[in-house]
Amino acid sequence: MKINENTYNHIITKCSNNPGETRGIIGGKNNIISAFEFDKGMAESKQHYFPDIEKLNTCIENWQNENIKFYGIVHSHFREEKELSFGDTKYIHIIMEAMPKNIRFLYFPIVLPQKELVSFKALWVKNEINIINDDIKIINEGGLKREKSN
């Protein structure tokens, strides 16, 4: 996953300063993530997240007007769990199956409490959804990259 440094820092800050299982959507251009929309959800609950679908869909429509593509969903974990839970995996499958057929992959990064981002990429391979660990390449304003392995 390639991500703009400012966007990376914004995601870490916003999700780390809120309770676990907070989420948002990510977007960008030319396969570089440069946009993030935080979503506190519809209901305040420490156990369940209910996305504000209307807000997020409006954001995606606005992004389209700016030629920003939807690239996935980021969420935070309560603990230092660097792996996807069964529920995370199930949610990723639901999202991928609901996407238009021209969307062949999406990113599903996790924000950990120690202000670390771990990336996963879900992609269609033939007729199956594969979820893989994905290294993060942080791109700063000068175009320089620094890599972060999972």
Number of domains present in the structure of the chain? 1
Whether 59 and 68 have beta carbons less than 8 Å apart is answered as no
CATH code for the domain in which residue 109 is found? 3.40.140.10
Burial, 146: exposed, middle or buried (Cβ in 10 Å; 0-12, 13-18, 19+)?
Answer: exposed
* 18-58 tens-digit pLDDT: 666 678 999 999 999 999 999 877 655 555 567 888 999 99
Domain that holds residue 37: 2-148
In this prediction, the residues of the chain whose per-residue pLDDT falls under 50 are: none
Among the listed residues 72, 70, 68, 54, the one whose alpha carbon sits nearest the alpha carbon of residue 119: 72
Among the listed residues 102, 98, 82, the one whose alpha carbon sits nearest the alpha carbon of residue 90: 98
Q: What is the DSSP letter of 18?
A: S
